[in-house]
Amino acid sequence: MNEKLLSRAANIADLKRIAKTRIPAFAFEYLMGGCNDDRALTNNRHQLDQIFLQPRNLNHATVVDTSATLFGRTYDSPIGIAPVGLSGVAWPRASEFQAQAAHKHNIPFVLSSVATTSIETAARHAKENFWFQLYPPRDLEMRSDMLRRARYAGCENLVVTVDVPSLSWRPRDIKNGLAIPPRISLKSVYQTITHPHWAIATAKAGMPEFETLKPYINTSQGLKKTAQNIRHALREIVDESVLRQIRDSWHGNLIVKGILSIDDARSAVDCGADGLIVSNHGGRQLDAAVSPIQVLSDIKDELGERAVIMADSGVESGVDVARYLACGARMVFAGRAFMYGVSALGRYGGAHTIDILNSELRQVLEQLRCPNTSALPDYLT
Ligand SMILES: Cc1cc2nc3c(=O)[nH]c(=O)nc-3n(C[C@H](O)[C@H](O)[C@H](O)COP(=O)(O)O)c2cc1C
């Protein structure tokens, strides 16, 4: 662990505070915001705080093991990097830095379809730790080409996100005019020049673009039209028939992200899903959404034998990771925490975020006298 970085940022809250000073407000608000009135975002925190663990101080567990084995592979930690779109707005090359860190620390890295790094570049950095998240395109040729590229890049785990049937209502982004490319206003120019680190890094890396989608989207009709084209191309509602089509054309593991009910969990597994990510998209889609931690144990009890159950939303520490694991997740993803990491610390941010989360998780296991992450459910009150 890097002691110098640790003295600046010892937890995710520190990374968030530093990120806020380093990046323009429109970028920070895009990352941290929920939707509507942020009720789901707040509830994620509230519900995680209701999960308590009971130590067994007299247990004879001297060594703790934080590794996690799923889909036949062992990762060093049960913590993964969640897919984040428009990643280059938070920090240029954010997804590349995260992919490198995931490879170095042997954890999963999930690239978003709408990240600003291409499938090929991310896979080159993450190597065998590369997972790909698909917003299924309407156009079947485009869809199968994206799957072909993912497979060719070595991806074994495809994550299909099903919880974005509608563009969400995010007042901050609406007011900030956040779009790709960002709408230029006096306010955004001011925010940019008052954050020189971000401005210089962005100038060096070039304006972020949807690298994975470039081959399919007509970019010659002006900037605004390009953004509209992308929204149109990816607005496929993912129902059971779409999932079955994807299952038929994807030979690796199929993971469905955005599950919040036993019914959906069962449907996804009936359609051939190998894994589920119980998630409310970090509280960014439906402000009245139930929090994943409220439904995780039930989904695990019902489907845990048939699919690998994973979770995300609201992870702000290794303690939160332990809470999700205790409720039945086998892998826990974090989105914002890793983005704050790279926004705060650039290329060092991905690895430092992993270090923080994993050290905190390890400390929880030691304190509980719990030998490994799969034993955590026994420590739930
Ligand atoms: C800025 C931002 C962009 C996101 N973009 C995507 C995306 O492109 N695809 C996707 O499946 N999920 C996306 N998500 C959701 C994350 O994958 C993940 O579910 C969520 O961030 C977990 O909550 P957390 O940020 O509290 O850890 C995004 C989340 C954030 C914060």
pLDDT tens for 39-52 read 999 999 999 999 99
SS3 state at 309: strand
Q: Name the pLDDT band for 182 (thresholds 50, 70, 90).
A: low
- What is the Cα–Cα distance from 293 to 311, expressed in whole angstroms? 8
Q: What are the start-end ranges of the H helices in the chain?
A: 3-8, 12-22, 25-32, 39-48, 87-90, 94-105, 119-126, 140-152, 171-176, 186-193, 196-205, 223-234, 240-249, 262-270, 292-303, 318-326, 336-345, 349-368
> Is 103 one of the annotated active-site residues of the chain?
no
376: its two tokens: 């955590």
What integer pLDDT is reported at residue 198 of this predicted model?
Answer: 86
- Among protein residues, the one with the nearest Cα to ligand 1's atom 2 is 84
pTM score: 0.95
Residues 82-97: what's their mean pLDDT?
A: 95
User: Is residue 227 predicted with pLDDT exceeding 70?
Assistant: no
Rounded to the nearest integer, the mean pLDDT of the chain is 93
Of the candidate ranges 24-33, 186-195, 211-220, the one whose mean pLDDT is the lowest: 186-195
Of 227, 164, 169, 185, residue with least CA distance to 26: 185
Domain boundaries, the chain: 3-376
- Whether omega before 24 lies within 30 degrees of 0, making that bond cis, reads no
Of 65, 58, 96, 11, residue with least CA distance to 347: 96
Name which CATH class applies to 3-376.
Answer: alpha beta
Q: Name the pLDDT band for 310 (thresholds 50, 70, 90).
A: very high
Per DSSP, the chain holds a count of helices (H) and strands (E) of 18, 10
Distance 112 CA to ligand 1 centre (A): 9
Task: Give ligand 1 pocket residues (Cβ under 6 A).
Answer: 30-31, 82-85, 112, 114, 133, 161, 257, 279, 281-282, 284, 312-315, 334-337
Distance 281 CA to ligand 1 centre (A): 5
Distance 84 CA to ligand 1 centre (A): 5
User: What residues have CB less than 8 Å from 345, skipping those under 6 apart?
Assistant: 5, 8, 9, 15, 18, 352
